[in-house]
Amino acid sequence: MKESLLNTLKNLFRIKSVLIIYVSLLVQKENSKIDTVIRRFKLFFQKRELKRNLKNNNRYVEFQSIESAKTVGVVFVVEDEASYFRIDNWLKKLVAAGKEVRVVGYHHSDNVPHYCIPKLKHEYYSKKDVNWYGKPIRPSLKDFVKEPFQILIDLTIDDNFTTKYIASLSKSSMKVGKKSDGNEDFYDFMIALNEEQDIEDFIYFIESYTKQLKG
């Protein structure tokens, strides 16, 4: 009698364990469906915003080299400390060459990292400064996109909506960015990178290839 009861309890425990696993899998599946729906909604609104920005952004396009440009706008995603300082050193080089440079950097966390030092004409924003589908909502960024830079350079390597949004609104005469499917609508001059190339290569190519342009 006692042994039979123990066996019954063991079987019930096994059944309970199986049910818990089954319910957990169902919950994960439902959560996955919800995440998929949210991603689709985000993508829909992102595409709509970009399409609208491009349609309404009337500007004069003029190609020129980075050497000849007097005003330069730079937008990028802050990936890590090493790439940040590599970009910052290049920006210092541009300023030393007599160019007026304005910078906007985005970091995909709630707070901007400590090493992103605020400077005159250098602005950094974070996840708190974009809405639920990634649209920048920080008021000061409107001033950046209104500036008619001779060249706007998007140093973003991995596709990112928030930096592309800024590029799509910019009034710059020439826009430079990474070559990828669909980017021809946003940039006048694109640079191809393979998977092994990084920000160091991107900057080198920008300097080298734009030298061949008029100006």
The pLDDT of residue 59 is 87
Residues 52 and 88 in one domain: no
Residues 119 and 173 in one domain: yes
Residues 51 and 98 in one domain: no
Higher pLDDT pick, 15 / 112:
112
Q: Interhelix angle for 161-169 vs 2-56, to 10°?
A: 10
* Enclosing H/E stretch for 201: helix 199-210
Of the three residues 32, 56, 80, the one that is the final residue of a domain is 56
Residues 46 and 108 in one domain: no
Residues 86 and 181 in one domain: yes
In a domain, 62, yes or no: no
Average pLDDT (54-69) is: 88
**pLDDT exceeds cutoff 70 at 78:** yes
**pTM, 2 dp:** 0.81
Residues 181 and 117 in one domain: yes
Residues 89 and 50 in one domain: no
CA atoms of 168 and 176, how far apart (whole Å): 11
Average pLDDT (17-38) is: 63
Range of the domain at 193: 71-210
In a domain, 65, yes or no: no
Residues 109 and 177 in one domain: yes
Residue showing tokens 């063991």: 10
The neighbour count for residue 190, using CB atoms within 10 Å, is 17
The CATH number of residue 202's host domain is: 3.40.50
Question: How many domains are there within the chain?
Answer: 2
Higher pLDDT pick, 9 / 75:
75
The pLDDT of residue 1 is 55
Residues 118 and 157 in one domain: yes
User: What is the CA 72 to chain-centroid distance, rounded?
Assistant: 19
In a domain, 101, yes or no: yes
Sheet with 151-154, side-by-side order of all strands: 122-126, 100-107, 71-77, 151-154, 175-178, 189-191
In a domain, 94, yes or no: yes
The pLDDT of residue 9 is 46
Residues 154 and 177 in one domain: yes
Higher pLDDT pick, 201 / 9:
201
Q: What is the pLDDT of residues 185-206, one digit of tens each?
A: 899 999 999 988 999 999 999 9
Residues 79 and 22 in one domain: no
Q: What is the pLDDT of residues 128-171, one digit of tens each?
A: 999 988 999 998 888 999 999 999 999 999 989 999 999 999 99
Quickly state the pLDDT bin for 103 (edges 50, 70, 90).
Answer: very high
In a domain, 64, yes or no: no
Residues 101 and 46 in one domain: no
CA atoms of 10 and 127, how far apart (whole Å): 50
Mean of all residue pLDDT scores within the chain: 85
